[in-house]
Amino acid sequence: MTGNGSKYVVVTGVSSGIGRATLAELAAHGYHVFGSVRTQEVADRLSQEYGAAFTPLLFDVTDEDAVDAAAEQVAEVVGDRGLVGLVNNAGIAVGGPLLYLPIEEMRRQFEVNLFGVMNVIQAFAPLLGAEAEAPHPPGRIINLSSASGHTAYPFLGPYAASKFALEGFSDSLRRELQLFGIDVIVIIPGAVRTPIWDKALALAEEDDYSDTEYAEIVPKVRETLARLEQEGMPPERVSRTIRQALESPRPKTRYVVANNWLLGWILPRWLPDRWLDRLVARQWGLGRA
């Protein structure tokens, strides 16, 4: 059940990490969160924890029929009040050397991180006001990108490519949706303590590329990802920024959330490409013998 005064938001991928922190942040500040999960077990657990502030939506972002059904479910609840926001958080990280990575893995990365976002936006856009004479004020779309969407590091090529694509997609969409007054905002976190890196590590462990020239380098990548998971900022820092983007009267088009602004954001973006190439090669042993 939801109250008549609820501020309705859809958040994808609320089972863990940034999505779970966003659910907690918004629920604590008077929002009713429709959150996507992929199993009934997680739906039941979160429903018990958040009570009337949460409605689970069972779908995978790559399943168009399930996403459309979820949008219909939400429409029945919100009616003419619409949504104040849609937070596209669900994502995966695929890693490995691009010369040897199975093309199916690259497709899987884009199916979730880009095409899945597009599926969700197209389904929920009418509830955000993307229609003539919408009965409610326009909502906002918030897309979760990454620092990897601005600086691409080796062996995270699929993830970086999907986030670079999401950045361009978001800019085009924001300009198109000016017609309806719907804003599109990008959140750009640095390293976050989140299970997304667990999945990338699992992939690295499944294939050590021992029969390639990268055999001695891939373990270093695994160590780097493990360190990022341990040293990353808590997801609550990102969730607070998401709420800020939802509530600000004049939101930025992009919000950067970084632990170390100099090393994590400024230097990688402003160093000449060749300088950064040499630094990365030295760090990971990628220089020619």
- Residue 289 banded pLDDT, cuts 50, 70, 90: low
pLDDT band at 225 (very low <50, low <70, confident <90, very high): confident
Q: What is the CA radius of gyration of the chain?
A: 20
- Residue 107 or residue 283, greater confidence: 107
Task: Report the percentage of the chain scoring pLDDT > 70.
Answer: 93
Question: Over the stretch 51-90, which tens digit does the pLDDT of each residue have?
Answer: 999 999 999 999 999 999 999 999 999 999 999 999 999 9
The DSSP symbol for 152 reads: P
- By three-state DSSP, how is residue 87 classified? strand
User: SS3 for 13?
Assistant: coil
Residues 6+ apart with CB under 8 A from 234: 21, 192, 193
CA distances from 27 to 64, 104, 140, 144, 249 (A): 27, 38, 17, 19, 20
Integer Cα distance of 29 and 22 in angstroms: 11
Per-residue model confidence (pLDDT) at position 21? 98
Q: What average pLDDT does this structure show over 151-156?
A: 91
Helix-helix angle 116-128:157-176, to 10 degrees:
20
The reply to whether 159 belongs to the active site is: yes
Query: Residue 138, SS3?
Result: coil
Over residues 103-112, mean pLDDT: 96
Name which of 197-201, 215-219, 229-233, 236-240 the model is least confident about: 197-201
Which pLDDT tens digit goes with each residue over 177-216?
Answer: 999 999 999 999 998 887 676 666 555 565 668 888 888 8
Domain coordinates of the chain in residue numbers?
7-263
The predicted pLDDT at position 1 comes to 47
Does residue 110 surpass a pLDDT of 50? Answer: yes
Mean pLDDT of the 237-266 span = 92
pLDDT the model gives residue 191: 86
Among 35-39, 112-116, 236-240, 265-269, name the one with the lowest average pLDDT: 265-269
- What CATH number should be reported for the domain whose range is 7-263? 3.40.50.720
Average pLDDT, the chain: 91
Say which of 159, 209, 214, 255 is annotated catalytic: 159
User: How large is the average pLDDT for residues 259-264?
Assistant: 76
- With beta carbons less than 8 A apart as the criterion, state whether 57 and 37 touch: yes
- Residue 203 is predicted with a pLDDT of 55
Give the pTM: 0.93
